[in-house]
Amino acid sequence: MAIVNATDQTFAAETKEGVTLVDFWAPWCGPCRMIAPVLEELDREMGDKVKIVKVNVDDNQETASKFGVMSIPTLLVFKNGELVDKAIGYQPKEALVQLVGKHVS
């Protein structure tokens, strides 16, 4: 499954079914650029079990504010629309696999 870019308008629809890993990021953020290839690798390996959604905090401040995103990258895990987990800052692939893996049935 390809990584999806969500907006304030599409966020709820993108996260309502299954397990979704949401990356709150911005183009100027160094750690966000570092985690992007990790997310792509995760998508290739777990894309059938986990949907990955990216939210640009500069363009979608309403969603970022709703979830209290203060620093980026912030990674939130949703299961059927409910927030179930989070991680802040750059995470290696192993940590992300563990983060989402415990919510995949």
Could you confirm whether 20 is annotated as catalytic?
A: no
For residue 86, the tally of other CB atoms under 10 A from its CB is: 15
Could you confirm whether 89 is annotated as catalytic?
A: no
d(CA 32, CA 62): 19
Catalytic residue among 6, 21, 32, 57: 32
Structural contact between residues 19 and 103, judged by C-beta atoms closer than 8 angstroms: yes
d(CA 9, CA 62): 10
d(CA 41, CA 94): 11
Catalytic residue among 4, 29, 87, 97: 29
**Residues classed as catalytic:** 29, 32
